[in-house]
Amino acid sequence: MFRLLLCGMIWVSGTSWASQSDLLLFEALAHRSTADASLIFLRQGDGLSRQRLQATLLAADDQAALLRRDWPELVQAWQASRTFIEQNLEIAANNADVRFPVNLDGHQQALYADIVQAQQQADSSGNQQQLAMLQALTALEQVVAGYLYFNINIFGGLSVTDNTIETAAEKFTQALPALPANLRQRLQRKWQFVEKAILDYNQSSAVFIVRRTTDSMREMIITELGAAQP
């Protein structure tokens, strides 16, 4: 079984092994940890950004504990990322090292690769609509992580040359048709509000608007996931 602990909500799913759903949730949390670590850098480590990051790290710890039996190497990769983030928290908050974004990305990319490898071997059966919602959530978290990470690269004097944000945005929009109609319509309205800002990330920055809107979208998905539980 696993818990979804985001935005103050808990979702429990009754499986006794590491399923695709477990790993999608863990991937979502991994991307959110990248986003929240980037936010520490952008907001100079203010109280809100620290609280967000701590809540994400604790939620990921809970999820990692549930994966430990089946995927011990994955948990080790998470611990390496978590340790790096915590040890470099004040460096990020003070913008004290322009290498922080690159080093963060190195740890997170290794973690993402391990998650993808595990997903290729995991059980993909189960409630397909719940899987679709988790896929949408994971893609959304990847969009936000890519967007915020791009911004810390900008301010650190570095550059991003890949198409991570575009790819994640496409994954998110592709996940929408499989969602419950009411949720899909509400997400589409929110997405239309921020899509241009997100995809024009190399021309302008709208961190506050993107963060607030995607926070709301995340809550919508999590609420629907909770309501779908038996």
The CA distance from 28 to 16, in Å, is: 20
pLDDT exceeds 70 at position 163: yes
pLDDT exceeds 80 at position 160: no
The percent helix, strand, coil of the chain (3-state, each to 5) is 75, 5, 25
pLDDT exceeds 50 at position 165: yes
pLDDT exceeds 80 at position 159: no
Domain count, the chain: 1
Domain extent at residue 150: 2-227
Both tokens of residue 34?
């990248």
Q: Which residues pair with 6 in a beta bridge?
A: 9
pLDDT exceeds 50 at position 108: yes
95-105 pLDDT, tens digit per residue, is 888 889 999 99
Phi/psi of residue 3, nearest 5 degrees: -110, 140
4-54 pLDDT, tens digit per residue, is 445 444 344 444 445 889 999 999 999 999 999 999 999 998 999 999 999
Q: How many CA atoms lie within 13 A of 200 on its CB side?
A: 9
Q: How many CA atoms lie within 13 A of 214 on its CB side?
A: 28
161 — pLDDT class (breaks 50, 70, 90): low
